[in-house]
Structure 1
């Protein structure tokens, strides 16, 4: 696809499997090099995508898990992307985007997640 979206959600997963979204972010791929110009993707290309998830804080209780969900849509919270590079708000035709998240030595992925350790209790 010429364009697509990438979304990231930080999620608190409770021991019983219940999950609550803490914060999310989105990046329209055409703006991956900045919002002043559109840069289209090419089939088979590998691109650096940085999804900024707004600052937040959360206390993860013992037994809870931290989950990062990465997707290509968060509609209707964010505007749809028909992956054509056109005006998504008035188009009716779309293209299916086939996205791959690379995580290898050649194409590494990473997450920056600052952690504040719990204070030790005085005994």
Structure 2
């Protein structure tokens, strides 16, 4: 909207290795091979995420183009990119140290068939 009003805007494109959709696709591919992400371990699973990104990145970019998004592809990021990955880890550590996020046992209303989280409104 702002770009159409003449503002100089930046819309950074990016792909998330740990997004629910990406993780579900990688896990489905592994399931076809009869293995789980737990069988692989973290490092091998991340390698699979990189492989998935390499295989589908051009398809995702084509979808963005069809949407008419004015993206600066020269600055595209992937959450496993070295600098970005360090920045994300730092933010999570800072949030944890401030007590804003925490690890605990909670009920999660997860639907594995539809690969989504159900929010329960009170």
The TM-score range, normalised by the shorter chain, is under 0.3
| TM-score with structure 2 setting the length | 0.27
Q: Pick the structure with more strand per residue.
A: 1
Q: Pick the structure with more helix per residue.
A: 2
| TM-score with structure 1 setting the length | 0.27
